[in-house]
């Protein structure tokens, strides 16, 4: 708590001693960012819903280096690093948290208006960007199926077929042996064609090490490479082709969590007393690897009455990740608990879109979208209990009892077809009516295989035993350094004579979304708006191995989730546009809220996690954004948000769940619970000061992001101690940056920067440790410690 007050004191000190001078003469207007949130170019101030637009200059100044870090600039928008390693995004408390690899996210991610279907591909999105648009509230009358809470759109710099060669090169060096290089070059190929090539490489040593003797693994390192090629071909004055190919590779050691417990006979974990740079994991360099690429081909044709776009896109993601879920040094009935995640998925999409010509007073968009997703998902768990297990097991292990294993192999197949449209009609010169509709049908046809121990098959009543891939076909398996992926699982399946159990799912879901809104321009500086929208995301299957250990649950799916959002807001600019003030209030009402629920009774045999539907939930909130160009050289930005969330009906569908755990499972959620990762208060403050010299310029900037206390799990009927230890305390992250621009055209930049300047200790996620105290023991996905570095950039 004291640390947070110290940060704020430093912030106030910084502002007070800035050479603050408000000149009497007119001040330059605040920068206006043009966006395409409604499929046409508009000022961000003319879009009749809450939207944040972040320029490439701001991304650079705030040292945003990963897609999830964009959220630190916007209140009511946050991201967690889930225990599976995937970044989960939340907008106004709407999101999906968990480690179910087949879950559908609630916030849509896009590159140049083309959907990213696998969230891991976002790891390679944040470079050579023009801007980022964050759209709040359901957006499915213009975007894809998974925009229940909103959309985050990364717009990259375009190729050009005119002018000279241009681009940039950038190199950053920092602590933890950070080396980050990024560059881009754009040039015309002919008078009708141009190309832009960009790439980056990001390397950093691990920030967490093990206290286990002779284990030299450095967890949570960075070793990532990404590249992008964009081509533009002008067919004639009315037609053009654009092509983009992007992707990257990640070869890293997983971010193995730190096990935490209260100190000095206390019941609540004091995170400041924890050493998050250490753990007691025995895993040797567990992989966190990704090979991903995607691309699109877009044909655009202009006529006097409409614009036509045809967009063909594809995506391929191969990944593998190994995690330690053991209690490590804590008292536990489990010696070791290892989790393995593997994906090999592909997505193909075809979209046809018609929209009104740019000079039309009536703006409309109509589109058709067909999407195919297929591939394989494998999640497995190996647990080594410290108690006795099956008497017929003879495999040597470190615990007292034998090991047991669970696995889920999903042969994923899904097809969706959508039709959508939106119309904006000017009722009067100052009053506009917007309405939109979307209809989607989803054919979900995966095959769900159990690939390990079964809990409810005849002859396997004893729950603990090496009945799966560890003891059959993989007797040479080293659980500390080997990875259980598709190859090892196939060896087990072959030796076993097939999967222990399988189920073919054949489900069709139909859903609709819509929007109606009014915006009224009182004058050129003030707009009022109101909207009512319905968003949805489609159904899904469970890929968690604790679910597929039960044959009765192999075919269990979750229904589509729907969200109705009401929003009222205003956007305003004051004289000379030196002061901008925007605000909104909103209410969200869910039906069939999709949630990943974890039941941890302490006994690892009964540990159970499942994707479920909550009948209903709701939230309400308010947001206020202030931007002030105090002088020609000084800018302030303040954004703050309030959010209140709760479960309104927590009665779960427990059909198929073992009678032994039904009561405990249901008790994980009750009406009145606060939703996860939805802090009640959050705010973001930035100050940018420019100091002009004769032939150079110095920019000083400071960014501070604050999140109030928020739980990482629904409280259910648990005690206040349980909830406190599953909640992240207030987190404040401070970034300082000084950039020196020099050269004839300011083409050189040299910056000294500091991220997490106060070395704040925090967890991006908290989780259970099987076999430990359900009240007080937690696993912490460690937030990054203080980073300091130097960056040199050259533009041309």
Q: Shortest CA distance to 707 belongs to which of 687, 734, 677, 679? A: 679
Q: Rounded to the nearest 5°, which phi and psi values hold at 176?
A: 55, 30
Judged on CB neighbours under 10 Å (0-12, 13-18, 19+), 507 is middle
Q: Give how far the C-alpha of residue 138 lies from the chain's centroid of Cα atoms, to the nearest Å.
A: 17
- For residue 499, the SS3 value is coil
For residue range 294-340, what is the model confidence (pLDDT) as tens digits?
999 999 999 999 999 999 999 999 999 999 988 888 888 787 889 99
For residue range 624-680, what is the model confidence (pLDDT) as tens digits?
999 999 998 999 999 999 999 999 999 999 888 888 889 999 999 999 999 999 999
For residue range 568-599, what is the model confidence (pLDDT) as tens digits?
999 999 877 789 999 999 999 999 999 888 88
Domains and CATH numbers, the chain: 2-795 (2.40.170.20)
| Bigger pLDDT: 403 vs 371 | 371
Residue in this structure with the two tokens 């090991």, named with its chain if needed: 403
Q: Tell me the C-alpha distance between 109 and 127, whole Å.
A: 15
For residue range 375-411, what is the model confidence (pLDDT) as tens digits?
999 999 988 877 554 444 444 545 545 667 889 999 9
User: Is residue 181 within 8 Å of residue 171, measured between CB atoms?
Assistant: yes
Q: Specify the length of the chain in residues.
A: 796
What are the b/e assignments for 8-26, b being 16+ CB within 10 Å? eebbeebeeebeeeeeeee
- Per-residue pLDDT, 5: 47
For residue range 424-469, what is the model confidence (pLDDT) as tens digits?
999 999 999 999 999 999 999 999 999 988 888 776 544 444 557 7
pTM of the model: 0.92
- Per-residue pLDDT, 455: 81
Number of other residues whose CB lies within 10 A of the CB of residue 556 = 21
- Per-residue pLDDT, 120: 81
- Per-residue pLDDT, 124: 87
Q: Give how far the C-alpha of residue 295 lies from the chain's centroid of Cα atoms, to the nearest Å.
A: 20
364's tokens = 């409309």
Which range, of 168-177, 273-282, 463-472, averages the lowest pLDDT? 463-472
**Quick one: residue 25, left, alpha or beta (phi over 0 = left, psi -120 to 50 = alpha)?**
beta
Which range, of 100-114, 156-170, 345-359, 706-720, averages the lowest pLDDT? 100-114
User: Is residue 567 within 8 Å of residue 531, measured between CB atoms?
Assistant: yes
């Amino acid at each position: 708590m004291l640390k947070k007050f110290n940060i704020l004191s430093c912030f106030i000190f910084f502002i007070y001693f800035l050479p603050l001078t408000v000149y009497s003469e007119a001040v330059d207007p605040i920068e206006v960012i043009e966006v395409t949130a409604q499929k046409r170019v508009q000022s961000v101030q003319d879009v009749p819903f809450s939207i944040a637009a972040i320029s490439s200059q701001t991304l650079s100044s705030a040292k945003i280096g990963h897609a999830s870090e964009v959220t630190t600039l916007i209140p009511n928008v946050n991201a967690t690093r889930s225990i599976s390693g995937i970044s989960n995004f939340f907008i106004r408390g709407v999101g999906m948290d968990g480690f179910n690899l087949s879950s559908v996210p609630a916030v849509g991610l896009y590159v140049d208006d083309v959907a990213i279907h696998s969230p891991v591909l976002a790891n390679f999105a944040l470079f050579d960007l023009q801007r980022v648009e964050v759209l709040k509230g359901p957006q499915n009358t213009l975007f894809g199926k998974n925009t229940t809470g909103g959309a985050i759109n990364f717009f990259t710099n375009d190729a050009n077929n005119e002018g000279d060669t241009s681009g940039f090169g950038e190199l950053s060096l920092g602590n933890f042996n950070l080396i980050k290089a990024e560059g881009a070059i754009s040039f015309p190929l002919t008078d009708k064609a141009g190309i832009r090539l960009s790439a980056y490489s990001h390397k950093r040593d691990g920030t967490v090490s093990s206290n286990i003797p002779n284990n030299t693994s450095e967890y949570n390192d960075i070793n990532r490479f990404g590249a992008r090629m964009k081509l533009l071909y002008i067919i004639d004055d009315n037609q053009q082709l654009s092509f983009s190919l992007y992707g990257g590779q990640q070869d890293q050691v997983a971010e193995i969590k730190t096990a935490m417990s209260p100190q000095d006979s206390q019941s609540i974990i004091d995170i400041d007393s924890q050493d998050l740079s250490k753990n007691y994991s025995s895993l040797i360099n567990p992989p966190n690897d990704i090979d991903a690429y995607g691309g699109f081909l877009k044909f655009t044709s202009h006529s006097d009455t409409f614009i036509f776009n045809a967009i063909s896109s594809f995506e391929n993601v191969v990944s593998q990740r190994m995690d330690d879920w053991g209690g490590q040094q804590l008292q536990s009935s489990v010696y070791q608990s290892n989790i393995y995640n593997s994906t090999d998925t592909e997505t193909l999409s075809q979209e046809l879109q018609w929209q009104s010509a740019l000079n039309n007073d009536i703006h409309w968009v109509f589109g058709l979208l067909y999407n195919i997703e297929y591939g394989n998902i494998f999640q497995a768990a190996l647990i080594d209990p410290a108690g006795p297990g099956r008497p017929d097991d003879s495999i040597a292990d470190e615990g007292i009892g034998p090991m047991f294993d669970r696995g889920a192999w999903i042969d994923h197949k899904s097809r969706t077809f959508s039709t959508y449209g939106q119309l904006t009609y000017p009722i009067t010169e100052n009053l506009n009516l917007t309405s939109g509709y979307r209809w989607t049908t989803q054919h979900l046809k995966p095959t769900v295989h159990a690939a390990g121990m079964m809990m409810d098959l005849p002859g396997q009543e004893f729950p603990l035993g090496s009945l799966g891939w560890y003891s059959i076909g993989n007797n040479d398996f080293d659980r500390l350094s080997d990875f259980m992926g598709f190859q090892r699982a196939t060896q087990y399946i072959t030796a076993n004579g097939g999967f222990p159990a399988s189920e073919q799912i054949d489900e069709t879901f139909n859903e609709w979304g819509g929007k109606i809104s009014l915006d009224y321009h009182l004058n050129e500086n003030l707009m009022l708006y109101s909207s009512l929208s319905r968003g949805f995301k489609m159904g899904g299957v469970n890929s968690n191995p604790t679910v597929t250990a039960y044959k009765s649950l192999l075919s269990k799916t979750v229904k589509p989730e729907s969200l109705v959002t009401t929003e009222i807001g205003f956007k305003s600019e004051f004289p000379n546009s030196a002061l901008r003030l925007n605000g909104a209030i909103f209410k969200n009402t869910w039906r069939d809220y999709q949630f990943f629920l974890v039941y941890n009774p302490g006994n690892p045999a009964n540990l159970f996690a499942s994707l479920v539907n909550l009948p209903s939930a709701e939230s309400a909130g308010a947001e206020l954004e202030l931007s002030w160009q105090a002088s020609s050289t000084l800018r302030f930005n303040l954004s703050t948000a309030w959010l209140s969330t709760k479960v309104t009906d927590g009665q779960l569908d427990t059909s198929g769940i073992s009678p032994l755990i039904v009561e405990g499972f249901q008790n994980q959620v009750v009406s009145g619970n606060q939703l996860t990762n939805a802090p009640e208060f959050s705010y973001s403050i930035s100050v940018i000061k420019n100091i002009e010299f004769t032939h150079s310029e110095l920019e000083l900037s400071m960014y501070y992001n604050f999140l109030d206390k928020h739980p990482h799990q629904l409280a259910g009927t648990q005690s206040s101690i349980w909830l406190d230890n599953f909640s992240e305390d207030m987190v404040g992250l401070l970034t300082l940056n000084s950039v020196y621009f020099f050269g004839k055209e300011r083409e050189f930049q040299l910056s000294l920067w500091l991220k997490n300047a106060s070395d704040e200790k925090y967890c991006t996620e908290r989780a259970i440790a099987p076999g430990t105290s359900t009240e007080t023991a937690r696993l912490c996905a460690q937030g990054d410690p203080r980073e300091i570095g130097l960056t040199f950039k050259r533009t041309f």
